[in-house]
Structure 1
Amino acid sequence: MVFALSNTATLVEPPKVLTVREVYCPPEAATSNGRVVPIKHSAHSKADFGAEVYGINLNNFTSADFDFISDVLHKHKLLVFKEQPEMLTPQQQYRLTACFDPEEKSGGFAHGADPVLLTKNGVTIYGLPNRPAINAQPQVHILGRGEVPENHFDFPPGFAVKGIDHMTFHIPPHIPQPERDNGASRFYQWHWDGSLYNIPPPRVGCLLAVRTPKGPDVTVHWGDGTGRTMEIAPGATAMVAGSRALELLDEETREIVLHSRIEYAPHAFQWMSTARSTQLGHLLETEGREIPLEKLPAWSEDKICVYPMVWTNPVTGEKSLQVHGQGAFKLYLKNGPGVEETVVTDLKEVRAFMDRIMRPVLSPEYIYAHPHQEQDVILWYNRALWHSITEFPESYGPRIMHQCNIAASDHPSG
């Protein structure tokens, strides 16, 4: 069976679901035909990451191709695979992602098992309304908003992915609907991918653009009183480098983050589900709206994630400030080795410190908003970048993305 995805490409149904034990080594090859071209950022941009890759068919990559991809990914942190001859299959998307962590044996989705979403005509779909899984490879999910293409895997006719927007998550004032319809936008949530509880965060993330919104650029509003805005392509994924975030801190603050840790809330996303985000999307407002710990699903101390604030690229040695402001629950601060930690438990103080270290890099000149093109694939080093989705008018049409991220075999250790 063939699933139509666009006027120019088709996606052939994979024969079966791959488990991580079935991710064989890619076919051997002496050399790769891969060619990398650094992204040319605009004249006013200070973003210093990202590259386009040509000459590799991700549906048939070899061991030499993977070695090439791994090397340039750790160097550039974000790769955009251009000129793909056909849509990347879910199996190959999973295979590419899993190859970055051969020690991981479970092959599980980075946020844990999916619930049943719907059962229709004898077919069960798993996931959430804004994140349904593809049965052909359940670690691959559909993100975005709008109706999926006709005959798209097991999804019933007319199936639509539920979008998310700032009006359901950010504290007011919200952007009025008429302005949103004319292209006013927001950053939804600045984060790196991970469950923040029990499951190690993925090493890499991978997105395939199946459908992209069509329309003029949108204007992202900071909404923080500064009046800052940024023109970006509709449906773009905004990214910043943790290395630049670290570099921008003053010397005293940099010394603190280099020696400090963050404790994330148990079941962090459920804990924050009743809270509201700042309008910039980097923190939660301190209003006492979080779900009390005793009312969360059962949790244990040994599964709570306590991570260094700064993570090191294992290939380049580059250090990155990698923090998730909305999930932060407690801080262990120290300004040098051998110094006693100061434990910060007051959420207002925790968030004030997170704002201090996150806000400097969240400025237009440091943000790269990637303009997705249909059939392109982006791959990013999840332990060195932060990202956020951005909003766009519904009149621009659907945004359908296939995303794969897999729980890692290890927790970040600095």
Structure 2
Amino acid sequence: MNTKISISPIPGKPLGATVKMPSYTTDPSKLNEEDFQLLKNALFRYSVLVVPNEADLSPESQYALTIRFDPSTSSHYGHDEKLFHSPESVLAKDGKCVPRRPEVMMVGNGTFPAGHEGMGEFTLEHPSQRTFHKRTLTPKEITNHHTRFYRWHIDAALYEYSPPVVTTLLGVVVPPKTERQTIYYDDTGEKLEVSTGATAFISGKTAFDLLSQKDKEFALNTTVVYAPHPYIYIHKCKATSDGLTMVSEGKEVPLDELPHWEEAKLKKLPMVWTNPVTGNQHLQIHSCCVYNLVDEKTGKVVAELEKAREICHKLVRPAISPSHVYAHAWNKGDLCIFHNRGVIHSVTGEMPSNEKRLMHQCNVASGSEPVCNV
């Protein structure tokens, strides 16, 4: 009988581990303190944890588990809900809140009948490069099962609220793993085969380790200033084909046309964040939302918007090469717990409107800022 939690690295993958629950509970929010500390330490070491067979995990338990990782968490979802659902935001179609536990967001694809978690009939739309990328896939490419990384990101409002430490993502309804699509890299000709709807992860530690010494020193001494209400700021813009950042075409919403914002609430975060357990440095940039880059020592701007995007793209791009990506192929009931301050992740997959996918996602704004201990 397995009386303690068991954690095993995922064979052949650049990051991630599988969790086997102890015999005394199937609910990870109810782990005893010793087992939970093993789980928490494993999260910081492996970055992504997969707990199978959690299809019956309630939104209440998912929320309780998520906030247990960060005692400083505030009491609301990681985004301002009104701004998140604003029709002027690139996130507007990304999900719907569970009514009784609004920190848990339902994301996915297709129309679902009334009754799920107290909802009436509702429809979800899978994010697609068709609406977000500058150069979209052709009908022929889609017919040939091509797909893209949609948007590499950290789960964070990047205005007012601090980035969550942890995100939990539960596969409630998932496409068959036998469905396969291929990501082609425009700049190198490389390719990566993924299951339809796979969630792609890269390690911020790997991203930092791949930098030259000169670029490491730059990253360690640079602050990323994010745009006010960044998802509204970029909603008219289009992304690069790899989903890493936005194409600069002057389509950003003028600052004086954004919803009310305050200088004091802008997010100015280190480019490199320190792992609290391992002490490793993680390159953590949400390049789509960057506004400018600032020298941490002098406070002077070292790169305005277009150049800042180019720099961030250059720094992160090596880490999304196929050998560094863990693309999680979902099984029903998989619970992914990922260190949101240690990985960057992306949706993948082209899905027709009749393809069903339903996930429960939970992240809660932290009460502490990421730090960089140079």
Note whether the superposition's TM-score is higher than 0.5. yes
Contact 1:97/1:405 (<8 A) preserved: yes
Aligned partner letter, 2:137: I
Aligned partner letter, 2:80: G
Structure 1: tracts of 5 or more residues without a match: 1-30, 118-126
Q: Is 1:64 aligned with 2:26?
A: no
Q: Is 1:164 aligned with 2:127?
A: yes
How far off is 1:333 after superposition? 3.3
- For residues 264-343 of structure 1, the aligned pairs below 5 Å read 264-333=226-295, 340=298, 342-343=300-301
Residue aligning to 2:81:
113
Instruction: Name the SS of the counterpart of 1:138 in structure 2.
Output: strand
- For residues 219-230 of structure 1, the aligned pairs below 5 Å read 219-222=182-185, 224-230=186-192
How far apart, CA to CA, are the structure 1 residues paired with 2:220 and 2:167? 25
Alignment: residue pair count? 361
Q: Looking at both structures, which has the greater relative contact order when contacts are Cα pairs under 8 Å and sequence separation is at least 6?
A: 2
How far apart, CA to CA, are the structure 1 residues paired with 2:77 and 2:353? 32
1:393 alignment partner, one of 327, 341, 351: 351
| Pair member with larger Rg | 1
How far off is 1:107 after superposition? 1.3
TM-score (normalised: structure 2): 0.91
How far apart, CA to CA, are the structure 2 residues paired with 1:255 and 1:346? 19
TM-score (normalised: structure 1): 0.82
Residue aligning to 2:116:
152
4+ residue runs of structure 1 moved beyond 6 angstroms? none
Aligned partner letter, 1:226: T
How far apart, CA to CA, are the structure 1 residues paired with 2:112 and 2:19? 27
Instruction: Encode CA deviations 1:267-310: one digit per residue, 9 max, x unaligned.
Output: 01110111111111001101000000010011111001111111
Instruction: Encode CA deviations 1:80-102: one digit per residue, 9 max, x unaligned.
Output: 00244x52100000000011122
Q: Is 1:235 aligned with 2:197?
A: yes
Residue aligning to 1:139:
103
How far off is 1:394 after superposition? 2.0
How far apart, CA to CA, are the structure 2 residues paired with 1:393 and 1:323? 28
Structure 2: tracts of 5 or more residues without a match: 86-90
Instruction: Name the SS of the counterpart of 2:127 in structure 1.
Output: coil
With over 3 angstroms needed to count, the CA separation of the structure-2 counterparts of 1:355 and 1:129, relative to structure 1, is: closer
Contact 2:128/2:350 (<8 A) preserved: no
Residue aligning to 2:149:
187
Instruction: Name the SS of the counterpart of 1:231 in structure 2.
Output: strand
Contact 2:159/2:265 (<8 A) preserved: yes
Instruction: Name the SS of the counterpart of 2:287 in structure 1.
Output: coil
Residue aligning to 1:249:
211
How far off is 1:162 after superposition? 1.9
Residue aligning to 1:27:
none
Aligned partner letter, 2:199: T
How far apart, CA to CA, are the structure 1 residues paired with 2:344 and 2:192? 17
Instruction: Encode CA deviations 1:143-176: one digit per residue, 9 max, x unaligned.
Output: 111123662122223x22122211111102x212
How far apart, CA to CA, are the structure 2 residues paired with 1:133 and 1:262? 30
- For residues 49-88 of structure 1, the aligned pairs below 5 Å read 49-56=15-22, 57-58=26-27, 60-84=30-54, 86-88=55-57
Contact 1:257/1:333 (<8 A) preserved: no
How far apart, CA to CA, are the structure 2 residues paired with 1:32 and 1:162? 41
How far off is 1:181 after superposition? 3.8
Residue aligning to 1:18:
none
How far apart, CA to CA, are the structure 2 residues paired with 1:234 and 1:403? 18
How far apart, CA to CA, are the structure 2 residues paired with 1:67 and 1:102? 13
2:60 alignment partner, one of 68, 91, 101: 91
